[in-house]
Structure 1
Amino acid sequence: MDKTIEEIIQGLTYFNKKFPRTELEQAIERKDEITPFLLSALDELNDDFSIAVENPDYMLHIYAMYLLAQFREKRAFEKLVKLVTNSSGDVDVVLGDMLTEDYGSILYSTYDGNVELLKKVIDDTDVCEYARAMAMRVYSKLYSEGLVSKDDFIAYLKDLAEVSIAIDDYIIGTSIVGVVLDQHLLEMIDDVQKLYETENVEIDMYGDYDRFMDRMNGYRHKTSYVKYIDDVIKAMQWWACFEREDNGKRKHGDEFEIEQVVKDLVEDVGKDVRQMQIITEIKIGRNDKCPCGSGKKYKKCCLDKETVSQGVDYGGKSI
């Protein structure tokens, strides 16, 4: 039975363990009717971030982003850029893992041709670091698709590398290294070497300079981190927060029994683990603030003095 637009929106507004397949299917079928509501949802969130910050179950903006990406709705691009210019902490809360997984692909799918707006996200050190890294990947993808000339691409990266060194911005320095590797930009090797020499590359991401050169010399193909969102249902239905869909198939008795045994075992192990507190060594980036509380960067403080450890409660809380 077909739902009204209002019913579809209502079904997508808040989290439900049951994946809203019907609502998404009907939203896709009625693309022209529902698009204004989805765009409005992004506007409302941009005007008042507390809608999602104060209500963790609010999900309309997430569904809206994926649907508008599948629709190739260019009017969404500027709104999506505006979303990440809010408080970094709020952006992380509101977008969660999606920020590091599909935000770049969503931006690319709605790209309206305004490359300067995209570069503004990359350049702004006040923007959430993950959003800046994703915007960099989108810019790299535009170059791959011939939407940015090689001369402009290289010139921008060189300028960006100089700025990264000048302001000690290792987030962008590291992103530049990733782009140079993906696109096999031999013209950028000297710039990358300077980034390494000034310690503006996160070693844990791409290794040291020798490792970088090994990867450049052994280049095979670029990695496609950014792609079009073509199927919102396929992109979201596997998320762990949703119950598994059985698609009407009945389970045989043995299959059900085995599955129940495994489920019980996992629950028992989980209870035991939650009762234990272990001390696990955490990796601290060279450019992160030193955990000793000095306010200095780790590389300029306790890097060579000691190993810093932190307690972790596997019940989900850090101690």
Structure 2
Amino acid sequence: MSDIWSALRPQLETFTGSLPLAALAEADTHRDELAPQLVAELQRIAADPTAAEADGYVLHLYAMLLLARWRDSRAYAPLTELGHLDEAAIDAVFGQLGHASYGRALASTCDGDIAPLTALADDADASAWARSAALEALTLAAVEHRAPAAPVADFLADFGARQAEALRGNQDTSADIQLLDLVVTHLADLGATDYLPAIHEWFAAGLVDETFADPADIEADIHRPAAERIAALRRVGHGLIDDVAHEIADWPDIFHLPPVALRPIPLGAIREPVRREEAKVGRNDPCPCGSGRKYKKCHGAT
């Protein structure tokens, strides 16, 4: 084990309350030496994700973000493999980054072969969040010229047609994510004007949530010049991973619960049993803050 890896790993392995910005900057200066170690960490978690369930364990997340920042395509295979985990495992492995960074990390490490991403998007047994990340990764990789645009647009259109057919048979809008909604916005981000008739048909059939994707906005967005579409994605934080510190900026709030000021107990109530006004939150229950993480991995972390 190299000296620099021995020095930096303890600082990146467990979140202790403060961001290891100096260690991350040091890692940037030693990327050639550290990248194989970080790739091995992702491969280890892909083979056995239980290690990521330990409270505060974040080495694999730093590995994902650093390798994405470095555009290291060796991370692509283990990252796409992780996407096929079930929803509970995805939550344990990625937490909030499953929503915010995972798809963009896939795009940032994409080696040009879109087959792993299309396979993940098509995996009906995978988490809806992972499938949506694959769709995002396909689009972003194409927009940023890390994957061929035409096959990506063709896949998205075909995927959307299959989703539309399924919705026609069962228009249940109760799911957290409707993948057809995402397809429409991604085709607009790609400037895939050839597929406007299909998009119009999906809207006309009431298959797309117009509070999520407005038809007029989609029409305008899909006709924008490529440079404007790329700039728009970057402007709203949907571009490739470039700044690790930005990706983890809210970790101190997520991993640690601020001290709670308790109301004083009236003297006359001291002999009475204290009754909880709200149901107790179990460590494996969703955190009440709405982050989507388990309580033990969010405000219940110690």
- What is the TM-score of this pair, normalised by structure 1? 0.67
1:236-272 CA-to-partner distances (Å, cap 9, x unmatched) read 24534389xxxxxxxxxxxxxxxxxxxx9x966x979
2:24 partner letter: L
Task: Show the counterpart of 1:232.
Answer: 244
The 1-side partners of 2:56 and 2:37 are apart by 19
- Are the counterparts in 2 of residues 138 and 226 from structure 1 also a CA contact under 8 Å? no
Shift, 1:107, TM fit: 1.2
Shift, 1:85, TM fit: 0.8
1:17-66 CA-to-partner distances (Å, cap 9, x unmatched) read 0211222122222112211211111111111111112x131111011111
- Are the counterparts in 1 of residues 104 and 241 from structure 2 also a CA contact under 8 Å? yes
What percent of counterpart residues are identical? 22
2:156 partner letter: L
Helix, strand or coil for the counterpart of 1:85?
coil
1:171 partner letter: Q
The 2-side partners of 1:313 and 1:135 are apart by 28
> 1:199 and 1:67, CA in 2 relative to 1: closer, same or farther beyond 3 A?
same
Note if 1:45 corresponds to 2:45: yes
Task: Show the counterpart of 1:7.
Answer: 7
- Are the counterparts in 1 of residues 164 and 202 from structure 2 also a CA contact under 8 Å? yes
Worse-matched range after superposition: 29-38 or 233-242: 233-242
2:12 partner letter: L
Task: Show the counterpart of 1:175.
Answer: 182
Shift, 1:110, TM fit: 0.9
Shift, 1:183, TM fit: 3.6
- Structure 1 unaligned segments of length 5 or more: list them: 244-263, 278-311
> 1:72 and 1:313, CA in 2 relative to 1: closer, same or farther beyond 3 A?
closer
The 1-side partners of 2:149 and 2:35 are apart by 35
Helix, strand or coil for the counterpart of 2:212?
helix
Identify which of 249, 253, 268 aligns with 1:241: 253
> 1:218 and 1:67, CA in 2 relative to 1: closer, same or farther beyond 3 A?
closer
- What is the TM-score of this pair, normalised by structure 2? 0.71
Note if 1:143 corresponds to 2:142: yes
- Structure 2 unaligned segments of length 5 or more: list them: 171-176, 265-275, 279-286, 296-302
Shift, 1:177, TM fit: 1.5
Higher RCO (C-alpha 8 Å, min separation 6): 2
Count of residue correspondences: 252
For residues 35-114 of structure 1, the aligned pairs below 5 Å read: 35-53=35-53, 55-114=54-113
The 2-side partners of 1:65 and 1:313 are apart by 27
* Greater C-alpha Rg: 1
1:143-182 CA-to-partner distances (Å, cap 9, x unmatched) read 3245555543443233212211333497321111111333
The 2-side partners of 1:56 and 1:40 are apart by 21
Task: Show the counterpart of 2:208.
Answer: 201
Shift, 1:315, TM fit: 11
1:87 partner letter: D
Q: CA RMSD, aligned part only?
A: 3.4
Note if 1:215 corresponds to 2:217: yes
> 1:68 and 1:216, CA in 2 relative to 1: closer, same or farther beyond 3 A?
closer
- Are the counterparts in 2 of residues 165 and 198 from structure 1 also a CA contact under 8 Å? no
Shift, 1:78, TM fit: 0.7
